[in-house]
Amino acid sequence: MSNYIIETEKLTKKYGARRVVHQVDLKVKKGEIYGFLGPNGAGKTTTIKMLLGLARPTKGSIHIFGKDMKKDKLAVLKKIGSLVEYPSYYGHLTAYENLEAVRILLDAPKSRIDEVLSIVRLTRDAKRPVKGFSLGMKQRLGIATALLGNPELLILDEPTNGLDPSGIIEIRELLKSMPKEHGITIVVSSHLLSEIDQMATQVGIISKGEMIFQDSIETLRKRSSSKIKLTVNDAQSAWRNLMSNGFKTDVVQNQLFVDSVTDEKIAEIVSSLVKNDYSIYRVEEEKKSLEEIFLELTGGEGSL
Amino acid sequence: MGRLFQSEFLKLRKSLIWLLIFVSPILSLFLGLLESNEITNVKGAEWMTTLSMMTISHAILFLPLLAGVFSSFVCRYEHAGGGWKQLLAMPVSRGSIYVAKLLVVAALIAATQLLFVVCLLFIGWVKGYPSVIPWDSIAISIVGGWVACLPLIALQMFVSVAWSSFAAPLALNVILTIPNMLIINSEKFGPYYPWAQPFLAMMPNSSEGFGALNVSLVTLLIVILGSLGLFLSSGFVYFKRKEV
Amino acid sequence: MGRIMASEMLKIKRKMILFLIFLGPIGVVALEACNFGLRYDYLTKVYKDDLWGGLINEASLLSIPTILIGLTIITSMIANIEHQTNAWKQLLALPISKTKVYTGKALLAFLLLILSCVVLAGGIIVLGLLLKFGVNIPFLYLLKMCFFPFLASLPFLALQIWLAITMKNQAIPLTVGIMGTIISMYSMNFPNWVPWKWPLLVNDLEKAVYSIVASIVIGLLLYLVSHLDFHRKEVR
């Protein structure tokens, strides 16, 4: 048996002829915060629904905690807390009653309700009907519901949607602390790379239904290879000059770019420019942002 | 199963829709009080005459429609707040969720039937009916009406789970219930129309009664239990496979 | 107002509303076709003096509850178009007065139900001709029995459109409407001033005119009050 908490194999979902998820091999290790990233409509929510048994895969298999989701669904779900898309709630019940309706099903101790309410800071509003809640409060209630059963695995689909900046930070810190303090594994989806960047340890990027990247966040960052940017007085002529001397550069908006090369090479380029009487204003290192890598991976689809 | 039922009950209690269980018995109570004044009761059959009178207002339209309203309602708050995906991601089998919802509705209908009896007794008390109450016949009528509602609940639960709109299952229910007004009068077709069964099962002294029941054995087995089996199993299979 | 109606008509597309508007009267006529088809000899004997009148009366027995429940469902569906997608805030932010928005919805429901009554009248004529009741059709009586019950239901139309539009939870208006229909069915012995009795037209026809006038007046009054209430309400 593998040491993955979640392992899918060739997971595929079609709605009619439309392929929403195609051969996704999702692998999540214990104690990770797995950031599931992709533009809107890339298949994130569908994948998550399949993980939770809400939608049936057309093809492929899902193993969670080493158990086949098809056979041991209930045993698996017992150890999962989830929040899918927008939060689920019963508008006519108070926050407390909403949690109670779920607590009864999970057979969790009653004291757990107060615990999760205080974790998401809803203790003060617990006695109000949820239909009067703001989106952020509903979202926090949804997270509280997910935490109710003391899950070993938390699956959250866009959990920071509709939260204000301070709420986002709070949820983020909360999620980050969980693997350390409680040994919980977390899968969190988002269409915002910056979001994932700040909390995830592993990243899976899905685009048009296919997994196009899956590795640690460090590996993703390493891809942000640097370039050297040179600002000179006459970029066009300097570029031609460098070309004739055998240096390969690019010129963009009157600036010269050199792909990641050794320090010696840069020194040679600079001395060549100086020799040919070009004025060098700046020599800078420019890192590709994660956004650019993301756009590159997804083929420029969907803004972030 | 018990826990599911408890959870369903919690969601329902706060919604006030359960208050509807009082409406039909109370309406029947008023009609019973009003009408019995005009009709000279057959000596010794006062209880059954009044029961018949109340059954007309209670069971032709009200009971079948109520079964639909309750079924739609226990699904409404799941549709409205995205509750299905939360509920179905719980470690409870889909089958028991479905059964719990059915049981809640069946319990509400049972409560309506009990209140109906209370109202009947109240009329009898006010009018000074004989102290010998025909419990057997009353019980057969009340329980029979309840059993005859079960297939309707099963079908309405099916469509309520399938359609997120509250009006659509209700419209279907109305379309199927209105023909009652004609069909109950038909000796030939009445026994075969599921929506007419709550009335026929509650109406005392129908000639074709099987044993102690108000409906014939064929009707009971084929129409009531048969349609129950059909609607229940198709709804069940649908819900098992439903994706949210 | 024309543009509002055009937009309302567009919005009910593919919502089954028109389907129900036709299904109601056609269903009533179809049931009567079964009724007369199956019990032809018996019913033609009962109504041998006035075959057309008998058919019309039998049909109105079914059409009255159908109208009451139909208007409940139709108003709810019309209002729910906006509720479902929270479109009120978009609709009311347009440069159109709230009065017109509300009137548009009410008028749409009214016109659709009138259409339903027209279909009912047409259906009865077709059925009567098919049953070979002759060409001596009592048009006046037919029109009265097709349209009066609806006109006598106007207070309920106003009430239902009010409830359906101001409440997001459609279970409430639908339940109230169904309840009203059933109460109306058994209101035979109620005093004449009770509105639930009016659609039954149980007063003789001359008096029925009074209840229709009362119905129209109260319906309009309710419409005015409810439209003021709609004006006052804020969009959530």
Nearest residue on chain A to B8, alpha-carbon basis: A101
Give the Cα separation of A302 and A190 in Å (integer).
13
Report whether pLDDT(A249) > 90: no
CA distance C39 to chain B (A): 9
Nearest residue on chain A to B13, alpha-carbon basis: A93
- C18 inside 8 A of chain B by CB: no
How many CB pairs (< 8 A) connect A and B?
86
Report whether pLDDT(A11) > 90: yes
Nearest residue on chain A to B96, alpha-carbon basis: A105
- C35 inside 8 A of chain B by CB: yes
Which residues of chain A does B10 touch, with a Cβ-Cβ cutoff of 8 Å?
A: 93, 97, 100-101, 104
Neighbours of A172 (CB within 10 A): 18
- B52 inside 8 A of chain A by CB: no
- B243 inside 8 A of chain A by CB: yes
Domains and CATH numbers, chain A: 4-222 (3.40.50.300), 225-287 (3.30.70)
Render pLDDT for B91-130 as a digit per residue (tens, 0 to 9).
889 999 999 999 999 999 999 999 999 999 998 888 888 8
Give the Cα separation of B50 and B137 in Å (integer).
12
Name the packing angle between helices C17-38 and C51-84 (round to 10°). Answer: 160
Contact check, Cβ <8 Å, B175/C34: no
- C189 inside 8 A of chain B by CB: yes
Contact check, Cβ <8 Å, C61/B170: no
Q: Is the pLDDT higher at A247 or at A9? A: A9
Contact between A80 and A151 (Cβ < 8 Å):
yes
Report whether pLDDT(A303) > 50: no
Question: Measured in whole angstroms, how far is the alpha carbon of residue C47 from the centre of its chain?
Answer: 27
Give the Cα separation of A51 and A156 in Å (integer).
11
- B14 inside 8 A of chain A by CB: yes
Cβ under 8 Å to B: C residues 163-182: 169-171, 174-175, 178-179, 181-182
- Please tell me the predicted confidence (pLDDT) of residue A300: 62
Candidates B7, B14, B81; nearest CB to A104: B7
And the tokens for A121? 């800071």
- A108 inside 8 A of chain B by CB: no
Contact check, Cβ <8 Å, C35/B168: no
Which residues of chain A does B83 touch, with a Cβ-Cβ cutoff of 8 Å?
A: 88-90
Q: What is the mean pLDDT of chain A?
A: 87
Render pLDDT for B152-162 as a digit per residue (tens, 0 to 9).
999 999 999 99
Contact between C73 and C161 (Cβ < 8 Å):
no
Q: DSSP letters of chain A?
A: --SEEEEEEEEEEEETTEEEEEEE--EEETT-EEEEE--TTSSHHHHHHHHTTSS--SEEEEEETTEETTTSHHHHHTTEEEE-SSPP--TTSBHHHHHHHHHHHHT--THHHHHHHHHTT-GGGTTSBGGG--HHHHHHHHHHHHHTT--SEEEEESTTTT--HHHHHHHHHHHHHHHHHH--EEEEEES-HHHHHHH-SEEEEEETTEEEEEEEHHHHHHTS-EEEEEEES-HHHHHHHHHHTT---EEETTEEEEES--HHHHHHHHHHHHHTTPPEEEEEEEEPPHHHHHHHHTTT-S--
Contact between A205 and A212 (Cβ < 8 Å):
yes
- A69 inside 8 A of chain B by CB: no
Which residues of chain B does C182 touch, with a Cβ-Cβ cutoff of 8 Å?
A: 24, 27, 57, 61-62, 65
Cα→Cα distances B202→A289, B118, B142, B199, Å:
75, 15, 6, 5
Q: What is the mean pLDDT of residues B19-33?
A: 86
Contact check, Cβ <8 Å, B14/A97: yes
The most confident of A112-121, B177-186, C191-200, by mean pLDDT: A112-121
Report whether pLDDT(A139) > 50: yes
Report whether pLDDT(A155) > 90: yes
Contact between C52 and C138 (Cβ < 8 Å):
yes
Q: What is the mean pLDDT of residues A111-137?
A: 91
Dihedral sign from CA coordinates of A90, A93, A94, A97? negative
For residue B101, give the nearest of B79, B126, B122, B134 by alpha carbon.
Answer: B79
Report whether pLDDT(B143) > 80: yes
The most confident of A179-188, A260-269, A292-301, B203-212, by mean pLDDT: A179-188
Candidates B10, B77, B84; nearest CB to A100: B10
- Please tell me the predicted confidence (pLDDT) of residue B214: 72
And the tokens for A103? 């607590």
- Please tell me the predicted confidence (pLDDT) of residue B37: 54
Contact check, Cβ <8 Å, B6/A78: no
Confidence of residue B39 (pLDDT cuts 50, 70, 90): low
- Please tell me the predicted confidence (pLDDT) of residue A304: 44
Candidates C38, C84, C182; nearest CB to B62: C182
Render pLDDT for A75-112 as a digit per residue (tens, 0 to 9).
999 999 999 888 888 888 899 999 998 898 888 899 99
Confidence of residue B238 (pLDDT cuts 50, 70, 90): very high
Which residues of chain C does B175 touch, with a Cβ-Cβ cutoff of 8 Å?
A: 23, 27
Amino acid occupying residue A200? A
- A56 inside 8 A of chain B by CB: yes
- Please tell me the predicted confidence (pLDDT) of residue A8: 95
Which residues of chain A does B7 touch, with a Cβ-Cβ cutoff of 8 Å?
A: 101-102, 104-105
- A16 inside 8 A of chain B by CB: no
- Please tell me the predicted confidence (pLDDT) of residue C163: 93
CA distance C236 to chain B (A): 16
Q: Is the pLDDT higher at C55 or at A300? A: C55
Report whether pLDDT(B167) > 90: no
- Please tell me the predicted confidence (pLDDT) of residue C60: 86
Candidates C61, C69, C84; nearest CB to B174: C69
- Please tell me the predicted confidence (pLDDT) of residue C196: 85
Range name among B58-62, B139-143, B188-192 with the lowest pLDDT average: B188-192
CA distance C202 to chain B (A): 17
pTM of the model: 0.81
Residues of chain C with pLDDT under 50: none
Confidence of residue A167 (pLDDT cuts 50, 70, 90): confident
Helix boundaries (H) for chain C: 2-11, 17-38, 40-46, 51-84, 88-92, 98-130, 139-151, 154-166, 171-185, 205-232
Candidates C170, C175, C189; nearest CB to B34: C189
Contact check, Cβ <8 Å, B178/C62: yes
- Please tell me the predicted confidence (pLDDT) of residue B173: 92
Domain boundaries, chain B: 2-241
Candidates A75, A85, A93; nearest CB to B11: A93
Give the Cα separation of B196 and C137 in Å (integer).
33
Q: What percent of chain A has pLDDT over 90?
A: 38
Which residues of chain B does C65 touch, with a Cβ-Cβ cutoff of 8 Å?
A: 61, 178, 181
Nearest residue on chain C to B56, alpha-carbon basis: C186
How many CB pairs (< 8 A) connect B and C?
73
Q: What is the mean pLDDT of chain B?
A: 86
- C27 inside 8 A of chain B by CB: yes
CA distance C74 to chain B (A): 9
Render pLDDT for A57-66 as a digit per residue (tens, 0 to 9).
999 999 999 9
- A93 inside 8 A of chain B by CB: yes
Contact between B243 and A54 (Cβ < 8 Å):
yes
Confidence of residue A219 (pLDDT cuts 50, 70, 90): confident
Candidates A93, A107, A145; nearest CB to B3: A107
Q: Beta partners for A214?
A: A204
Candidates B57, B69, B165; nearest CB to C178: B69
